[in-house]
Every structure is written in structure tokens, then in C-alpha cells.
Structure 1
Amino acid sequence: APVVNSYQHNDSFPASHPLWCGPLGYQGSKAGMKLIAQADVVVALGTRLGPFGTLPQHGLDYWPKDAKIIQIDADHKMLGLVKKIAVGICGDAKDAAEAITERLASRDLVCDATKAKRADQIASEKDAWERELDEWTHEKDPFSLDAIDEAQGETPFSGGEYLHPRQVLRELEKAMPEDAMVSTDIGNINAVAHSYLRFEKPRSFFAPMSFGNCGYAFPTMIGAKVAAPERPGIAYAGDGAWGMSLMETMTAVRHEIPVTAVVFHNRQWGAEKKNQVEFYNRRFVAGELDNQSFAEIGRSMGAEGITVDRLEDVGPALKKAVDLQMNEGKTCIIEIMCTRELGDPFRRDALKKPVRLLEKYQDYV
């Protein structure tokens, strides 16, 4: 059967496994969503099945509403809290999974007759999603296309060009070191990153989930690095979230806790601005950011700083920063100059343009 990760738990199952199909939910895997939509039984291991991981995404209303749900969680209060379930088991997810596997191994199952067919379908959907990610070089909604056009007439202060965030995320994925720990902040580009982050073991991915705490990624990675100094530690943040915690660069330098930060510099509060694109018809309020160079700020705090404004430099910049971290004990801030294009908001269905019922407000629609 296909295995999907719950929202922002990309490290809960090894990405190299042939049954792995990627994360569900906001900016997750289309392959995983298309496959779970066909399920008649879902075994939910250690997840409360919250809205971020079950509501429509990519235009897909994928949650199998008629499937029987077997939910296993150590906290009995989570059982049936969000989704109607057929069976609830209060217990450790690992112990329960091992017990179920042991019982099934000794039985002849009706579904064994279609195992090869299902394996082929899983591989086919995954291949299609990988091809789509390779070809998905930029966002294609009207606002993003306008932002891309604007960027073609602009030059970053570094002198290169503004890069498409999706291409940047793909290059970062290709250059990601083995055994890396990654933290993501809240924000639009960080949400899009969920499609590109793959891990082989637990305790590798740290995300704010539904807490939504801005500025989470960098201090979290400092803590993770203290706990696992032998592993590369990389934090993703947009320039808005980075402004909440960039001062912790001094903490990392002062206490000799080397980490790497990747800052997506697109000069805006991306998540908030995208909501305003959809809901307020591009009437923006407090969405723009006029920032200085974060690489220079990092250097002034004693860290290394790299500004990237060409796509071919993204992977080498990450490799250099990780080398500085692991071999020289240095913190490095990678600042990547990005266009202002934006991925889908979390709830497109909840962000329809308002209908004005009073005549005096008609001109404001």
C-alpha cells in the first residue's frame, strides 16, 4: 500500500522506499494525494489528521471521505478528534505498526492479488509528480506572472537576477547533504518547500506546523545542532521570518554552534501578501519589505555570508556553507534573491472575493 507523510512530517518515512509517496496537505505531493484518494482503508499512525494535511490542495479534494479510518495515537484525546474513524487504538505508533505487520504477515490477504498492479501505479504516479516538479519552474497565476515580468526589468543590489523560488528549491534539494537536519519557517516559499524536502530517517525535519510561530526555523536549528553536532543543520526562512530571528546569528557565533541559514529574499511578507492577492483583489496592506543585504548583516555579526543571484550558484553555495559548518565550525547565511511570485494560499476556497451587499460599499469590490 502507498505510504504518505502527514503535514510537515516529511521525515516520518524514508523517501527512498518504493512505497513512499510524499507528504499530504498544503503544498504537498500530488502523487500521495491522488493515491490516498483511492483508498478504502487508511491506517493513520500517530497523526491527528488535522486540517492542514487533509483539506484540498493543488485543486485536488483528495481525502477519501468514504474510507474506513484506523487511527493509532498515544494520546486518546486525538482519536476521532478531527475525522470520523472506524477504529481507534490508543498506543505507541511503532509498537502498533509492528503488531499489525506481524499479524498480517501470517495471513493470506485478498489484496495480495493486486499487489504488483498497485506497485506499478505507485511508481507511475511518483514519476509523473517528479516530472511535474522538474517542469514547474515558476508559478503561473496572474499575480505571479506579473511579478515575473516586473523582475525582468529589475536588478538586485548584488547585480545578478531575481530567481524563481521553485527552481531554487529544486537546486537546494539536489545539493542537500546526506543526514541533513532541516527546519522551515512559516511563509509562502517555505510552504512550497514541502514538495522538495525528502529525508531518510526521523528527527530530520523541524517545522512550526499549525502553531504558525514566525521566526521559528533558525533558533530551532541552533537547538537541533546542539543535540546532534555531527549532522549538518540547515534552516530555511523568508526575509519576513528572518527579521524575527536574525539576531540569533550572534548566539550561534558566540557559542560556537555552527549552522547554515538559507534566506529567501523576495522583499515581502509572502503568505500575508498572497492572501491579499486573493481576498483583497491586490489591495496590499503592509506586505512590502525594504531590506538590506542579509549576507552583509550576517558578516557583521561574525558569520560567513553568501548572496546568490544566479541559479547555477545555488547548489555550490549550499555545499560551501555546509563545508564551512562541518569542517571549519562556521555559521553561514545564504541570501538568495527571489522574484515576488507566490504559491497558492492554504485555503483558496476560503479566500473568495467578498460580495458587497450595501450600496455604499459597491465601489470597493
Structure 2
Amino acid sequence: MADARETNARRLRRLTQMDRTRAVDRASRALRDTWSGGRKPDDVVLRVGLIQPAGDTAGRAPLVRLIQSRGIALRFYLLAVFEAHCRLQTEAAWSSNRPLTGLRSWADFIAIDGAYDSRSQTYMPDTKQDRTGSDLRLRQIQSALRTLEDLGPDQALVTVPRAKNGGRRLYGQFSLMKETGRGGHQTPDAYTVPRNHWSVRTVTVPASFFLNGWVQVLHPSEVATWLILRALSQWARGQHAETGVYLYGKTRKEDFGMERDPWEDACQRLRDFDLIRHAHSGDLDSDPDKLGNQVMDFWARQERQRYEPYRWQVTDRGLGQDAVKICMRELTLRQKSLDTAAEHRARKKGEQTGE
């Protein structure tokens, strides 16, 4: 398994390539065009069934199952939900004639870094057949649709019809399902835009999450962690504003299916990206300097009991910024710190062995 230094370097390399090719900028522009030409929703409303299974439902929620898969399945589902909010009335059933590729297509919404050759450690040109950006994005979407459908007969988040001979999937004719899945009836539970009302358990996601590139650059485990914390902050608004929200290990694992290491790592990255902060009094939209953040983090560590989870507050301040710039800045700083620590360990080991 790759260590933190290798993982961070690989992520930074991919972000640098996407920044060079303006992949995220172009995808965000397509999403902004869809938003501005549609209903211009301030928020995207998600049913909580995506995040947490119902009490009478066995197994894990789709969100956790999706972060365990490779590819862009979670991202694509969220993008499809965003597109539905831009286009459909509340409680309208989902239907779409948007193509998979071409102008104003689903592929326009996806940002990827391209084909990377590990031997030469360079990105391969997209001039060859089946290696163009459009080809690569199409394959990612097809893989995402397979993953979303293969969640199970009842839990599938999309349905994809087959050709008449029952063989190949007709990806371009996929249908979106509700956050809880296709359901167990003969008629699929097709997606409808939910009403944001106290009687319906939902979590709202600001449109800026999609329009400023965050949906493209966050890892699935980070998206899942952020959505869970966001849900907790909206279910317990008073507690969130005063002392922050948290999850004990048993609840985190049994109710949300999140293991400790990916949860804690995701919390730290989300904090670095200014999407969450250690809980403290003060305006959630305030903009403390770096030193102020370090002081607050110090007191958070001092006040936290040994077996007590960190308390977090979700802020929307970072969402208004360019996701690529923020992530590249913070991951570059982290890479320097990891490199320095690795050099220190190597030097110490050399001193101990006399080399």
C-alpha cells in the first residue's frame, strides 16, 4: 500500500495536469452554463438514504459502498442529481435526452487528468485513437454507470437497458434512480427532485460545490465525510453552531459505514481545504488567518479528551473559492512537509546504522 507521501504526490501530479489542461475549469464552465440556463438552484437537495440506510434496511448506504469502488461513480451520480435540479421542477420524475459525449453532454461535466505512463512518468498525448480526452471520459462514465447499476437489484442507483439480444448495455439510455436505489418493486423507483422540507430527511449541498470544481477534485472518501458532517450540522443546528458535531467510532462505523483511517484522513484534508474547522465560537463565515487557525487547532487538541472524537463545524467559506487552486496550494505544502519528514527519518536511520 502506498504511504501518505506517495499518495499525496500522485494526487498533486493529477491536479497539476488538470490545471495545465484546464480540465476542471472547462467542466465547471459546462456546469455553470447548465445552471445559469436552467432553474439556478441555490442548493442541491439529497435524500438522506444516500448517506445513511433506513432503520429497517439491512446493509450499508450507497454512499459508503461507492467510496469503496474505483472510478467516478459517486461523482457522476452527484452530477446527475445536480443536472436534474437545474432542469426539473420539484417532485418531477427524471428523464433526459442529454448525450454521453459531444457538445452539452455528460462527458462535458467530467474532469480527468488523462492517460499516464508510469514507466516514463509522463502523460501520453491524446492524439492516438481511444486515447483522446473525450474517449477517456466516455469510458469513465460507462464504468461509473456499471458501478451504479451493479450495486444490486434493489440498491442500484441507475438502470441501463440492454440491446434487444440482451447483451450490451445501452449506456446513453440510462435512467437515474432515487438515492435509496431502484427498490424492490417491478417498477423502478425513478429519481425525483426532493422537496426540502422538515418532514423529509434531506441534506442540502450548495451549488458552489459543483460550480467551483469541488465535486471534481475531492476524493470520494472526502465527499462522503463532508456530506455526513454536513448532514449532522443540519440535523443539530444549535449544537453545530455552539460546540460542533462529532461521531463516536461505533456510530461512525455502524450507522455510516466509515472506517477510522479514511474518516480521520478525510477530516484533515477537508480542514486543510477550509471546508470544515475544529469547533470554536465565532462566525462560521469568518476568515481567520493561518496563525489563527493554528492557535484554534492547538486548543482543540488540548481540550479534547483522549478517547473523545474531534468536534467539527462545517463552513461554506471554502466552497466559494477555486477548488483546484486551494487543493494544489495545500497539497504542495503537505508534500514539502512529508518530504522533510522522510528525509529526517532517513538521516536518523543512517545515524543509527552508521551509514
Instruction: Give the TM bin, normalised by the shorter chain.
Output: under 0.3
Normalized against structure 1, the TM-score is what?
0.24
Larger fraction in helix: 2
Q: TM-score, normalised by structure 2?
A: 0.25
Q: Relative CO higher for 1 or 2, CA cutoff 8 Å, sep ≥ 6?
A: 2
Task: Please identify which structure carries the higher strand content.
Answer: 1
